[in-house]
Amino acid sequence: MPDPAENIKTKRCAVHPALHSLIRYIVIIEADFGNVPVHLVGNFMPSPDQAMFINLYTRLKSKRSGENNFNTVTSCTLMGAQITPFKLLVEESHKTVSIIFQPGGLNRFLNIPMTELFNDGYSAREVIGREIEELLDKSHDTITLNELDIIIQSYFLKKLSKIKEPLPIDFALQQLLTNHNLNMDKIASMACMSIRSFERKCKERLGMPAKMYARIARFHKAYKMLESRPIISWTDLTYELGYYDQTHFIKDFKEFAGLTPTLLYKELSEEHIQFQLDWDKI
């Protein structure tokens, strides 16, 4: 079977400086399988990312762990941080725009607590309203990826005047995303808050306690490393990511992936397509 990756192009867009405090990455994925029918299934593992996914020319399907059937995904989906794995199915050519927000960025953009979007995907139309249909219509009318990039960023730039300014907590959470083992007292200090106030604001900004967020972020990084470096040993991975020992490493995989690292590695070897890209390496 031909490698489906050969038919997939990715474009990492240069995020406008005015959007840096809100958006980490904008990536456009173009999959062209021609007229050949495909049936490609891939994992979407627990992730700390808050995101908006715009799917053009297709309706992807998803299936959560424990569900029997795939369900159609909305054309524009909002997702908070995830702690439950699910699978995605693609059956035709498509374009997807992945907007990955800064930690807490989706809360600032929507002005609703992230507990409302925690661990699930929601139709952007239900949350944002009809204006998202205008964005989708404009996106469908574009011809080039550069045009699509301009349409997406123009939408967010016009929204900036209505979005809350970033606070010290937002920059502290960016540190927590990449430094998973930082002491919570230190992170709260960066946020200029007491521990109690910090934890309360984390629920609002992230949808979960800060420690859980850090665990999800570390697990997700471990998963991406396992995916891209399959020959790495569990000992090296445990050490590199700052796990206390292999027991804690395996515990996180069982809790978040529902599998041991060994079984997950076997499943990765049989995976048709990678839906979760390593945004830092595109």
Domain architecture of the chain: domains with CATH: 4-164 (2.60.120.10)
Q: Read off the pTM.
A: 0.90
CB 187 within 8 A of CB 206: no
What the block records as the tokens of 210 is 């800060």
pLDDT per residue, tens digit, the chain (282 aa), is 456 667 888 899 999 999 999 999 999 999 888 888 888 888 888 999 999 999 998 888 999 877 889 999 999 999 999 998 888 898 888 899 999 999 999 999 999 999 988 888 899 999 999 899 999 999 999 989 999 999 999 999 999 999 988 999 999 999 999 888 888 999 999 999 999 999 999 999 999 999 999 999 999 988 888 777 666 777 888 888 888 888 888 888 888 888 787 777 777 666 656 666 666 665
Distance of CA 153 to the CA centre of its chain: 18
CA distance 15 to 19: 7
In this structure, which amino acid lies at residue 265? Y
Residues 6+ apart with CB under 8 A from 232: 225, 226
CA distance 172 to 176: 6
CA distance 84 to 108: 24
For residue 158, the tally of other CB atoms under 10 A from its CB is 10
**Closest to 13 in 3D by CA, of 26, 23, 24, 22:** 26
What is the structure's pLDDT at 177? Answer: 92
Per the listing, tokens 């992936």 go with 257
What is the structure's pLDDT at 247? Answer: 85
